[in-house]
């Protein structure tokens, strides 16, 4: 097949940033102009801004089936929400124990929050995963104690797409330890989440992963769970996230959450596209699927290729074919170290540097698949043929 290099952009990096849904933008743009006000203002505009935030709180709560909208705390993004969840809960309950646990494939913000606690006298247990990225539940049971105040597990991983059995994990955590924090940043809107049925204590969300504006995130805190602030100010968001609220981003996140809940069935279309891409790319010599073949996000395709640098694949796809994808996590892309996620599932450092991650979304079309498949095949073939000496 002849590749048309003038083809319009094909965006396959939805797990890094999901483009803002035009319906969200149309809904929220008034909060940048005519409806802009401080939500704490006593005047009419301030009251309307406050109502907009409470409506967004309700929509986010509905997306994850939270029992009370007041259980949602808005933040500046997932990283801040994770810091509040992990550090805030651990510090609040330090009299009951100074142990925390995380999976070996957590996001770097979870690891760094945990490492900060470790520097201050906490014990850190890192729970291993198998070769597909699934948490080893027997190891989880073995490493938790009644002094483990916080256990943080990703609902799904952005690099390999593996979805964890959260209900089973929550049962183990509550039998052996105390509170479960779930990072649902890339899972929300892709798979159904019910914090009550799954017995989740704290859960992190991100606006820009839902198709909302950047600059907003949310933390669900189960009623009765006590969390200590990690920064201080005017007392907004139950005192856990002080500072004037980002009205535009929060209102947009609420609308994005409403749309995600209403359109959850759209992900069945993405499953079909995902499986077709996986089947075709698997035929490339030296290609290896990373993550679980079945228990994975509906929009997630990830491979490693022997003898090829992942960064070179990404740059060539972008320059030659106008296809934008990823290699590893965008939040740790500036480091030269191999992905800790790929190392955790058993890949050697050289293999870990050869990853390609393609995440699909609302704009991805069936008609684009032949172009994408051939672009990947030709890129890998070209790069393997180059003499780097």
Tell whether the torsion through CA atoms of 342, 347, 349 and 355 is positive or negative. negative
Same domain? For 98 and 171 the reply is yes
What positions carry a catalytic annotation?
331
Same domain? For 235 and 298 the reply is no
pLDDT (average), residues 363-372: 96
E strands along 1-68, which residues? 10-11
pLDDT score recorded for residue 4: 57
Residue 3 banded pLDDT, cuts 50, 70, 90: low
Considering the chain, what percentage of its residues have pLDDT values greater than 70? 94
Lowest model confidence (mean pLDDT) among 32-41, 77-86, 103-112: 32-41
pLDDT (average), residues 366-372: 97
pLDDT (average), residues 228-250: 83
The more confidently predicted of residues 241 and 138 is 138
Same domain? For 34 and 177 the reply is yes
| 3-state SS, one letter per residue, for 355-379 | EEEEECCCCCCHHHHHHHHHHHHHH
Same domain? For 209 and 231 the reply is yes
pLDDT in tens, 187-212: 999 999 999 999 999 999 999 999 99
Same domain? For 291 and 253 the reply is no
Is residue 257 one of the residues assigned to a domain? yes
Give the contacts of 289 (CB within 8 A, at least 6 positions apart): 278, 282, 302, 303
Closest CA to 185 of 117, 294, 108: 108
pLDDT (average), residues 359-367: 95
Same domain? For 53 and 114 the reply is yes
Is residue 3 one of the residues assigned to a domain? no
Is residue 168 one of the residues assigned to a domain? yes
pLDDT (average), residues 301-310: 95
For the chain, the maximum distance between any two Cα atoms, rounded to a whole number of angstroms, is: 69
The whole domain housing 27 covers 22-262
Residue 220 has pLDDT above 60, yes or no: yes
- Beta bridge partners, 129, equal 135
Is residue 5 one of the residues assigned to a domain? no
pLDDT score recorded for residue 387: 46
Q: What whole-number distance in Å separates Cα of residue 149 and Cα of residue 127?
A: 15
Question: What is the number of other CB atoms lying within 10 angstroms of the CB of residue 177?
Answer: 23
pLDDT score recorded for residue 388: 40
Q: What is the CATH number of the domain that holds 348?
A: 3.90.1150.10
Residue 337 banded pLDDT, cuts 50, 70, 90: confident
Q: Which residue, of 262, 279, 302, is where some domain finishes?
A: 262
pLDDT score recorded for residue 18: 94
pLDDT (average), residues 220-239: 87
Same domain? For 253 and 114 the reply is yes
Closest CA to 221 of 171, 180, 174: 180
Structure tokens that stand for 197 in this block: 């049925």
Is residue 4 one of the residues assigned to a domain? no
Is residue 1 one of the residues assigned to a domain? no
pLDDT (average), residues 104-132: 95
Residue 389 banded pLDDT, cuts 50, 70, 90: very low
For 317, the enclosing helix (H) or strand (E) is helix 310-321
Decide if 166 contacts 198 (C-beta within 8 A): yes
pLDDT in tens, 32-63: 887 777 776 668 777 787 888 999 999 999 99
Q: What whole-number distance in Å separates Cα of residue 66 and Cα of residue 210?
A: 17
Same domain? For 241 and 311 the reply is no
**Total number of domains constituting the chain:** 2
pLDDT score recorded for residue 301: 98
Residue 385 has pLDDT above 90, yes or no: no
């Amino acid at each position: 097949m002849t590749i048309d290099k003038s083809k319009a952009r094909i965006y396959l990096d939805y797990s890094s940033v999901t483009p803002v849904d035009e319906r969200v933008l149309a809904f929220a743009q008034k909060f940048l102009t005519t409806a802009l006000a401080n939500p704490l203002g006593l005047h009419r505009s301030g009251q309307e801004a406050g109502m907009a935030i409470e409506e967004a709180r309700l929509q986010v709560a509905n997306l994850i089936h939270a029992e009370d909208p007041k259980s949602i705390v808005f933040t500046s993004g997932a990283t801040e929400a994770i810091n509040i969840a992990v550090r805030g809960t651990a510090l609040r309950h330090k009299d009951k124990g100074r142990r925390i646990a995380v999976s070996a494939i957590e996001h770097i913000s979870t690891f760094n929050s945990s490492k900060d606690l470790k520097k201050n006298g906490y014990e850190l247990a890192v729970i291993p995963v198998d070769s597909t990225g699934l948490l080893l539940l027997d190891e989880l049971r073995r490493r938790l104690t009644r002094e483990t105040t916080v256990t943080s597990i990703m609902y799904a991983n952005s690099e390999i797409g593996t979805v964890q059995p959260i209900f089973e994990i929550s049962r183990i955590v509550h039998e052996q330890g105390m509170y479960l924090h779930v990072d649902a940043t890339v899972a929300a809107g892709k798979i159904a989440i019910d914090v009550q049925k799954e017995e989740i204590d704290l859960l992190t969300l991100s606006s820009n992963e839902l198709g909302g504006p950047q600059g907003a995130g949310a933390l669900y805190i189960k009623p009765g769970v006590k969390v200590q602030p990690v920064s201080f100010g005017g007392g907004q968001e139950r005192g856990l996230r002080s500072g004037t609220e980002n009205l535009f981003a929060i209102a947009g996140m609420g609308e994005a959450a409403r749309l995600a809940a209403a359109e959850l069935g759209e992900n069945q279309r993405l499953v079909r596209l995902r499986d077709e891409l996986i089947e075709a790319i698997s035929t490339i010599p030296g290609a290896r699927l990373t993550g679980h073949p079945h228990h994975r996000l509906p929009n997630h395709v990830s491979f490693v290729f022997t003898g090829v640098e992942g960064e070179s694949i990404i740059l060539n796809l972008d320059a030659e074919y106008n296809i934008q994808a990823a290699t590893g996590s965008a939040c740790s892309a500036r480091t030269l170290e191999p992905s800790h996620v790929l190392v955790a599932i058993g890949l050697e450092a050289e293999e870990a540097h050869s990853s390609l991650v393609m995440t699909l979304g609302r704009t991805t079309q069936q008609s684009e698949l032949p172009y994408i498949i051939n672009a990947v095949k030709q890129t890998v073939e070209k790069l393997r043929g180059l003499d780097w000496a």
